[in-house]
Amino acid sequence: MKNIKATLLGLAVAVSGLFAFNSFQAGSIKGTVNPPDGAKEVWAISATDTLKAPVNNGAFEVTNAKAGTYKVMIDAVEPYKDAVKDGVQVSDGQATDVGEIKLEK
- Residue 1, pLDDT score: 62
Q: Please list, in sequence order, all residues whose beta carbon lies within 8 angstroms of the beta carbon of residue 7, skipping any fewer than 6 positions away.
A: none
Give residue 3's pLDDT.
75
In Å, how far from its chain's centre is CA 83?
19
Q: Look at residue 13 in the predicted model and tell me its pLDDT.
A: 66
pLDDT in the model for residue 32: 97
Give the closest residue to 95 by CA, choosing from 20, 29, 47, 2.
29
Task: Set out the domains of the chain in order of their start, with CATH numbers.
Answer: 25-102 (2.60.40.10)
Taking the chain (105 residues) in consecutive chunks of 10 residues, what is each chunk's mean pLDDT? 69 62 81 96 96 97 96 96 97 96 96
67: number of CA atoms within 13 Å, CB side? 6
Say what the pLDDT of residue 7 is. Answer: 72
